[in-house]
């Protein structure tokens, strides 16, 4: 929680990415506390590693109802075969960004809930999800 406070105080965006073990049990309760405490000062991140069979997490639904953004983004796993996934799942914004301050302009657009963030990409095939989880867990 200290990291999120520091990022916010320094003008950044805190994005909590989806992860298999992050949205259940003890870690899920921590994410919920972060949503409760920081409300619209955080963003939740979906990613292309979530398998197609996995329904949208309840925390995403809860966050959206509270006006918290849930943005898609690629978050490749530390596996050699994942290097080509960078940028394959995400969103685009159809607008012009300031040349002088692109970071500030993009941050303002993302924070503005009226900005349409257009998603692209696909969730992961079930077989690839299982394969990657086995590789991560057992280093095969």
Mean pLDDT by 10 residues, the chain (140 residues): 84 89 85 88 92 92 93 90 91 90 91 94 94 87
- Bridge-based pairing state of the strands 70-73 and 90-92: unpaired
The pLDDT value given to residue 95:
92
The pLDDT value given to residue 140:
66
- For residue 102 the two structure tokens come to 């692109």
- For residue 4 the two structure tokens come to 């999120």
């Amino acid at each position: 929680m200290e990291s999120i406070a520091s990022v916010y105080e320094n003008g950044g965006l805190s994005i909590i990415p989806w992860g298999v073990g992050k949205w259940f049990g003890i870690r899920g309760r921590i994410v919920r506390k972060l949503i409760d405490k920081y409300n619209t000062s955080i963003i939740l991140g979906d990613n292309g590693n979530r398998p197609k069979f996995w329904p949208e997490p309840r925390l995403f639904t809860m966050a959206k109802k509270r006006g918290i953004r849930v943005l898609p983004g690629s978050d490749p796993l530390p596996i050699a075969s994942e290097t080509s996934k960078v940028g394959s799942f995400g969103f685009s914004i159809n607008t012009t960004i300031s040349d002088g301050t692109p970071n500030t302009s993009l941050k303002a657009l993302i924070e503005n809930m009226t900005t349409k963030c257009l998603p692209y990409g696909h969730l992961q095939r079930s077989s690839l999800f299982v394969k990657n989880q086995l590789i991560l867990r057992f280093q095969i």
